[in-house]
Amino acid sequence: MGSALKTMLRLLAGAFSFALVLAVIAVWFTSELHRPGPLAEDKTLVIARGLGVGPIAHALADAGVVRGALLFEAAAGLARFKGEHEVRAGEYLFAKGLSMLEVLEQMRHGRTVVHRFGVVEGTTAAQVVAALRAEPALAGEIADVPEDGTLLPDTYYFSLGDGRAALLQRMRAAMAAVLTELWPGRANGLPLATQGAAVVLASIVEKETAQPGERARIAGVFYNRLATGMRLQSDPTVIYALTGGRGALGRPLTQADWHVESPFNTYQVEGLPPKPIGNPGRASLAAALNPERHDFLYFVADGSGGHAFAKTLPDHNHNVARWRQFQHEHAAASAPPAPAASPTPILPQEAAPVPGAAAR
C-alpha cells in the first residue's frame, strides 16, 4: 500500500472520528437542552437591562434556573447565529422543571411577568397619580397631575420598569379613543356643545350610582333639570368642591356644605360644573350621550343599592320619607342592645335630613 493511500485513509479515519465526536456532542447538547431543569418550584427572577449573554447565563445558573451557564450561553449564541431574537431583560417567572430550551425561548420572546394597574370608574386624576407614584414596579416620575376627565378607568397591563408617565399617557389615549368612538352616536337634541361637556355630565352620573341599569336614567334626570332650568343639585359635586378631588371626604355631607362657595357646587350654581369631578368609565360616558327619555326630575336612595325616581316633588318627598324610615330602622337594628338595668328605654334619635333630599 502506497504512502499516499495510507495518508488518505488516516485522514478519512480522523474525519470520521471527528464527525462521530461532533455527532455525540450534538446529541448530548440537544438532550441537555430538552432535559427538565433543576427548579423544584416556580421562581421569579429579574434580569437587569444592559447585561450581556454571559452575565445573564451566570445569573440563571446561580438562581438554579439552568444547570450550566456555559451551556446556556452556547445555546443563546447558536440562536443568535441563526438570526433569532436575543434574550431580553425583564422580570421572569420560570416554572418548575422548565428545560433550558424553554427558558431560552421564554427569554428570547420576552415573555416577562405582566403586572396589572386598575383604575376604578370615578377615580380622580389626583388619586390615579398618587397610586401610580406608589406602584413599586413602575419607574420614572410624573411631572403634573392631568385634568380630571382625561383618563379612562380600566385595567392596564405593564412590565417591571415601565414608565409611570407612559402608563398615564396610555390612559389619556384610551379616553380620547372612547370619546372619538362614542361621540358620533350621541342622541339628537342633547344640550352638549362639546365632548368635554359630555365628560362633565358623565363624571356626575358615575358618582351618583353604582348600578349599571340606572346610569342612563340618572343622566336623563339631569338633562330634564337642565331643560327646566333647575340646578343639578348633585351631592358628589359638593364633595368635589370640598376635597378638590384629592380623596374621600371622610364624613357625611351636612346642610352647611350645600352652601360652600365653589363653581363645582351645583346646589349654588346653575348648569354643569366647569370641569369633570372624576374620570368616568365607558358605561357612564355612553349613558351621558344616550340618556333614557322620561319625565323624572328627582331621585333618592331606596335602601337596596339603587334609587327611587319621581316626577313630582310630592312623590319625591314620599320617597325621601321612605328612605329616612329605612335609615331609622337600619340604625335601630344595628344599634347595641340597651343595658338590662336601664330604667327607661333608649330610643334611637330621629334620622338626620338626607343631604340633597329636597332636590334629588
Cα 238 to chain center, whole Å?
26
Residue 17 lies in a domain: no
When pLDDT is averaged across residues 117-132 and rounded to a whole number, the result is 96
309 has which bridge partners? 299
Range of the domain at 77: 34-113
Q: What is the pLDDT of residue 345?
A: 28
> Nearest-CA neighbor of 234 among 277, 195, 293, 191?
277
215 and 239 assigned to the same domain: yes
The total number of structural domains in the chain stands at 3
User: Which one is predicted more confidently, 2 or 294?
Assistant: 294
313 and 208 assigned to the same domain: yes
Residue 340 pLDDT > 60, yes or no? Answer: no
252 and 145 assigned to the same domain: no
> Nearest-CA neighbor of 115 among 58, 164, 66?
164
pLDDT tens digits for 194-210?
999 999 999 999 999 98
100 and 126 assigned to the same domain: no
Distance CA 94, CA 103 (A): 7
* Domain finish residue from 137, 157, 180: 180
**71-80, 121-130, 166-175: range with lowest mean pLDDT:** 71-80
Residue 223 lies in a domain: yes
The set of cell numbers assigned to 23 is: 455527532
